[in-house]
Chain A
Amino acid sequence: QVQLVESGGGVVQPGTSLRLSCVASGFTFSHYGFHWVRQAPGRGLEWVAIIRPDESNKYYEDSVKGRFTISRDNSKNTLYLQMNSLRTEDTAVYYCARDGPNWNLDYWGQGTLVTVTS
């Protein structure tokens, strides 16, 4: 069955960096695009970024442009989110999600918590 497992979250100080990973299984990783979506404590979902299957196109939410980079390693079935210059407002649970064939996010991981605090 389809599984997405995030890791890499933790507690960091403002201005520092963190890299999240999402390992996929149960399907052909290289055939799909992937999203990162975050959810601040007690708040709603916020879309962060998408990467296409061949890495040809990447798009970002305005507040993370220039600070976050989405990437993938198809040989390792792994999606990444490199987060630089972290801010307190980046504190959230970060979910990876598969870009489904029907313009949706059809499978989600369980999330990894990133806390940015001084």
Chain B
Amino acid sequence: QSALTQPPSVSGSPGQSVAISCTGTSSDVGSYNRVSWYQQPPGTAPKLMIHEVSNRPSGVPDRFSGSKSGNTASLTITGLQAEDESDYYCSSYTSSDTWVFGGGTKLTVL
């Protein structure tokens, strides 16, 4: 059960857009539309931001969007705001009936 691969860090200025990639395998991301994204500010519990690749739970701003192509999923944040600065994790259901997380990406708003 290898972790999904995310870039360690990304950055952008307020108002800009950033994308965070999440690469898995044909046993997880590539086989299921069961990819979700979580936001975790320092010292707090994770919060669900995207589920089933591209669906936003109620209350999540539409600046957050998700997509997937092959074994790679992506989280895109448009119109960056200072409050978006956080750690972001992707997760996927796997063919072993387990879940796997990515290593996490630290988003810095410059």
**Residues on A facing B (Cβ under 8 Å):** 35, 37, 44-47, 50, 57, 59-62, 95, 97, 100, 102-111
Given A35-B99, A95-B46, CB of A104 within 8 Å of CB of B36:
yes
**Interchain Cβ contacts under 8 Å between A and B, 11 examples:** A45-B38, A45-B104, A46-B3, A47-B101, A50-B99, A95-B45, A102-B51, A104-B34, A104-B91, A105-B91, A109-B45
Given A100-B51, A105-B38, CB of A47 within 8 Å of CB of B93:
no
Q: Are A45 and B48 in contact (CB under 8 A)?
A: no
When distances are taken between beta carbons in the complex, the residues of chain A under 8 Å from B96 are 59
When distances are taken between beta carbons in the complex, the residues of chain A under 8 Å from B34 are 103-104
Q: Using a Cβ–Cβ cut-off of 8 Å, how many residues does chain B contribute to the interface with A?
A: 28
Q: Are B99 and A106 in contact (CB under 8 A)?
A: no
Q: Are A44 and B3 in contact (CB under 8 A)?
A: yes
Given A50-B99, A103-B34, A105-B38, CB of A45 within 8 Å of CB of B46:
yes
Looking at the complex, which one of A47, A60, A97, A102 makes contact with B100 (CB distance below 8 Å)?
Answer: A47
A37-B46, A103-B51 provided; 9 other pairs, C-beta below 8 A? A45-B89, A45-B101, A46-B101, A47-B101, A103-B34, A105-B91, A107-B48, A109-B45, A111-B45
Main secondary structure of the interface of A (DSSP, over half): strand
A111 to B43: give the CA distance in the assembly, Å.
10
Q: Are B36 and A50 in contact (CB under 8 A)?
A: no
Q: Are A62 and B1 in contact (CB under 8 A)?
A: yes
B85 at the interface (CB under 8 A from A): no
A116 to B93: give the CA distance in the assembly, Å.
29
Looking at the complex, which one of A37, A50, A62, A106 makes contact with B57 (CB distance below 8 Å)?
Answer: A106
When distances are taken between beta carbons in the complex, the residues of chain A under 8 Å from B45 are 95, 108-111
Q: Are B48 and A61 in contact (CB under 8 A)?
A: no
When distances are taken between beta carbons in the complex, the residues of chain B under 8 Å from A109 are 45
When distances are taken between beta carbons in the complex, the residues of chain B under 8 Å from A61 are 1, 98
When distances are taken between beta carbons in the complex, the residues of chain B under 8 Å from A50 are 97-99
Q: In the complex, which residues 83-106 of chain B have their Cβ closer than 8 Å to any Cβ of chain A?
A: 87, 89, 91, 93, 96-104
Nearest Cβ in chain A — how far from B8, in angstroms? Answer: 10
